[in-house]
Amino acid sequence: MSKKNIVYLDTNIILRFLIGDGGELADKAKNIFKQIESGDLTAFCNDAVFAEIIFVLRKVYNVEKTIIKESLENIIYMSEFYVDNKKVALKALSIFVENRIDIVDSLLIAYNNVLDINVLSFDKKLNTMLKT
């Protein structure tokens, strides 16, 4: 696979794909994801983009947490779509849906739980959810 077939996706492309507002950008996003599904493109999404997608879906578009989780799981499970750590992302989505915390705290808890990484915080609620 050549370098030009490997891309990092920005938040707006994934949002346009998920929201599918019918405009030109949504059509372009759908085409990009067709290329990912067919294996013509390999796409990457880092934690910052992942968190921003969830924040925008929740706060701007008022999408329910369970729908966000289901939609992003479908993307994460695509064979040519990669997040920083698939297990962490999936765990963070579950934590986000099951608790009254934001996605950033959910990611921190997931890194702590899945990869056994120590997390330091002054946030009391976050600290109660971390493994010691």
Query: Are 43 and 59 contained in the same domain?
Result: yes
Q: Are 24 and 65 found together in one domain?
A: yes
Residues 11, 56, single domain; the answer is yes
Tell me: do 15 and 62 sit in the same domain: yes
Q: Which residues, given as ranges, of the chain have pLDDT below 50? A: none
Same domain as 100, residue 47: no
pLDDT of residue 124: 96
Query: Are both 62 and 109 inside the same structural domain?
Result: no
Total number of domains in the chain: 2
Radius of gyration of the chain (CA): 16
User: What's the pLDDT at 45?
Assistant: 97
Is there a single domain that holds both residue 42 and residue 62?
Answer: yes
The reported pLDDT for the residue numbered 2 is: 62
Residue 97: give the domain boundaries.
85-132
The per-residue pLDDT for 1 is: 54
pLDDT of residue 21: 82
